[in-house]
Structure 1
Amino acid sequence: MNNSRRSFLKYAGVAAAAVAATPVVRAVASSGGAAHGPEVGKLPTQKIAGRWAMVVDTRKLVKEADFEPLIEACHKVHNVPHLPDEKREEEIKWIWTDEFEHTFPEFMSRWPKGRVPTTLNKPYLLLCNHCEYPPCVRVCPTKATFQRADGIVLMDFHRCIGCRYCMAGCPYGARSFNFSDPRAYLTEEEINMEFPTRVQGVVEKCNFCAERLAKGLRPACVEASKGALLFGDLDDPSSEVSRAVRNNFVIRRKPELGTQPNVYYIV
């Protein structure tokens, strides 16, 4: 048998095996690899979303103490260091809180002298909005920040050169820069070995817990929120986020910019 015929038979065999395995691959993909029903803390369906979104129910988050478990859960899972007071200006944050006037400045002109109604005068949860049209992605020269098909905006820490163009491009202040080595402020006991630590000179931000979604788990902050945060596929009309957006008065941050944030606030 000559070499060309032998090569043809070899590749034909590989192709046949791949075709035979296709139904199995499709079955695993459609179920997210899960052989059993949904578990506690997992999303109701193990599938690839059309567009992941979050709904923040501000009626259930009133005091700073309400936010502490959410922020702690996020930062612990993602190895976000707690910097000492003298390094406060270099703080790294994935989710945080701010006042109404800074969160929704476009609404301030509705009240005389910018006085926010008492019912709205409280902290608000902030994070990356995972915009449908993210300006941070457009300005990144190395494609270190990129957008997945399901709408999540991610960071490739290895490709980040620390130019901070994405920070300048983001109108929501959702990114942090590591001015110093963040690993210096994490002990071995604190480090989550399932998520990478970062180095000095790179930008980081909320990733909608993409690594947890890959396992069918909800974002860490959502799990810790006890129902104050909802998460799911906004393209699925039966999802809880779709129902929440449809059945409540919701607002998004800086809608006039046209970025189409995928974080909604029930007020």
Structure 2
Amino acid sequence: MNKSRRSFLKVAGVSAFALSSGVAALSSAAQAASSMPGSSYKMGANALTAKRWAMVIDTRAFSSPEAYKPLIDACHKAHNVPTIEGSNQNIKWFWLDKFDHAFPDDINDHQTAKIKDRQFPLLCNHCTNPPCVRVCPTQATYQMHDGIVAMDYHRCIGCRFCMAGCPYGARSFNFLDPRKFLPKEVPNPAFPTRMIGVVEKCTFCAERLAVGQKPACVEAAGGRILFGDLDDPNSDVRHALANNYSIRRKPNLGTQPGVYYLI
């Protein structure tokens, strides 16, 4: 068993123990969560649907880290993600990191320097087997029928078990009140702002899919990011994966991430 998988199982075990021993009082809330309001988005007549949503990012089409900035800006604007200057408490929905941090378990030890020195975009992987869902005591984190791992902010109690369970660092906790760092007129009044003490993350723009729009980062990418049904052999994402070399983050963990990278 490699070091990364061993570390992941250790964290998952600690989270599971804490869950079983420290949150007994929440059991009734967890049992009731299957009927919670907002467990899926209301689908409009033009909604985009899939059996299993997946994203394919063609990193070869981005010439520099700056080339990702319009994607990050589009994501953050669509979801009222604040920028907290002079603090290490910034909220992450879509961000960049080095190859070695993004893909520590990649089986190819002989990647070129051009790839290893590149910055890669990171976001929630919307795993087929999401450990964050299993450890959430209130089901504030839940998986939709199309594979999207969604959030119900009203049910989040700030325990951060989901952050301990996520092996990708894809979640952020609001230690500070994010609303204080937004402009007076929020960028997108249609999307809820969050409060202090809750966890948040990328949701594959489930609210946009429900009204027939692709994720904000996909639109901003201009064809360099594909988004489609992984279970459809005729989808763009399946064609891209069949005809290009792709990798995923930490594949040895068995979470089956829904985000693929063409390198």
TM bucket (normalised to shorter chain) is 0.7 to 0.9
Q: Where do 1:227-238 residues align within 5 Å?
A: 227-238=223-234
Counterpart among 176, 195, 200 of residue 199 in structure 1:
195
The 8 Å contact of residues 48 and 210 in structure 2, kept in 1 or not, is answered as: no
SS at match of 1:97: strand
Counterpart of 2:73?
Answer: 72
Higher relative contact order (CA 8 A, sep 6+): 2
Counterpart among 155, 161, 179 of residue 159 in structure 1:
155
Q: Where do 1:90-101 residues align within 5 Å?
A: 90-101=89-100
SS at match of 2:226: strand
Give the letter aligned to residue 170 of structure 1.
Answer: C
TM-score, length-normalised on structure 1? Answer: 0.79
The 8 Å contact of residues 108 and 116 in structure 1, kept in 2 or not, is answered as: no
SS at match of 1:138: helix
Give the drift of 1:247.
1.2
The 8 Å contact of residues 84 and 90 in structure 2, kept in 1 or not, is answered as: yes
Counterpart of 2:45?
Answer: 33
Counterpart among 173, 180, 187 of residue 177 in structure 1:
173
> Separation in 2 of the partners of 1:167 and 1:221?
23
Give the letter aligned to residue 263 of structure 1.
Answer: V
Distance change in 2, residues 1:230/1:109 (3 Å): closer
Give the drift of 1:189.
2.6
- Matched-pair identity in %: 60
Give the drift of 1:228.
1.3
Distance change in 2, residues 1:209/1:165 (3 Å): same
Give the letter aligned to residue 78 of structure 1.
Answer: H
Greater CA radius of gyration, 1 or 2?
1
Give the letter aligned to residue 51 of structure 1.
Answer: R
- How many pairs were matched up? 221
Gaps of 5+ in 1: 1-28, 35-45
Provide runs of 4+ in structure 1 moved above 6 Å: none
Gaps of 5+ in 2: 1-42
TM-score, length-normalised on structure 2? Answer: 0.81
The 8 Å contact of residues 173 and 198 in structure 2, kept in 1 or not, is answered as: yes
Distance change in 2, residues 1:90/1:246 (3 Å): same
